[in-house]
Amino acid sequence: MLARRPRVLLLRPTSNGLELFRGFAEAYHVPIVRVKAIPGASRRVLELCREGGWLVFTSANGVRVFAVDAGSSGVMELSRLSREGVIRVAAVGPKTAKALEDIGVKVDLVPEEFMGRTLAYKLLEKSASRVILARSMAAIPDLRLVLESHGVEVFEVPLYAVYVDRLSSLIAASLALTMDYIVYTSPSIVDALFKALEELGLRSRLVSVRHVAIGPTTARKLKEYGVEPYYPETYTLEAIAELIKRDWRGG
């Protein structure tokens, strides 16, 4: 008889990365939050970039939203500003960096630890004095606060808003009871699922599921709900897949 495979639930907006789990698990994807672009935000980013400094992206979602909103001409302008040294570009992690490289934008800085606070200190080491943050409307303020506390001029441009898909959240909450692992890739996803669990009266029954956060920021949000999460040393989906694989095998 074949050994049972773990059941893994992924809740992020896109199904990218689901294939990482399918080799060893029964993997399911329910997008419980959606990304909605803020029209004209990329135009504001480009206006600020023409004055120089550092441009910071903190998610691949932000890069994709920028590319769609700016269009090919806007992307080409950002690429040119980067090549000419008018602007330098930082990404919070390798996925964000790859999204930038995929649209032809050179990345000058990726921190070793994929967190906003770490990126802030790396920017300070580079003597950044003017920083443009292109990210979610609901972004955690650590990055901006660290920079501003050291006298850096910070321009925050919300590129997109994240909103909860209530029906998908309720579906995910009902599925959660049948899972071995639930993967959370942002604090907003944690909030969405736990509110749906409470709405259905299921939270107290979620006792045998293991909760896996992509990093410490998302883990802190889970702890606010009384959950002790797992998270990998490297804050990527690849590392989460390896963590679950080892945990399931008893390693």
The tens place of each residue's pLDDT in the chain, 251 residues long, gives 457 899 999 999 888 889 999 989 999 999 999 999 999 999 999 999 999 999 999 999 999 999 999 999 999 999 999 999 999 999 998 889 999 999 999 999 999 887 888 999 999 999 999 999 999 998 889 999 999 999 999 999 999 999 999 999 999 999 999 999 999 999 999 999 999 999 999 988 888 899 999 988 899 999 999 999 999 988 889 999 999 999 998 85
φ, ψ for residue 161, nearest 5 deg: -115, 150
CATH for the stretch 37-163: 3.40.50.10090
Cα separation of 181 and 249, whole Å? 13
Instruction: Write the CA distances from 196 to 33, 176, 229, integer angstroms.
Output: 12, 11, 19
Q: Show Cβ contacts of residue 207 under 8 Å, excluding neighbours closer than 6 positions.
A: none
Question: Domain 7-32+165-248 is of which CATH architecture?
Answer: 3-Layer(aba) Sandwich (3.40)
Candidates 139, 136, 197; CA nearest to 11 is: 197
Cα separation of 12 and 34, whole Å? 9
Q: Where in the chain is the domain with CATH 3.40.50.10090?
A: 7-32+165-248, 37-163
The full DSSP string for the chain is -PPPPPEEEE-SSS-TTTHHHHTTSEEEE---EEEEE-TTHHHHHHHHHTT-EEEEE--HHHHHHHHHHHHHHHHHHHHHHHHTTSEEEEESSHHHHHHHHHTT----B--SS-SHHHHHHHHHHTT--EEEEEEETT--THHHHHHHHTT-EEEEEEEEEEEE-HHHHHHHHHHHTT-SEEEE-SHHHHHHHHHHHHHHT-GGG--SPEEEESSHHHHHHHHHTT---B--SS-SHHHHHHHHHHHHTT-
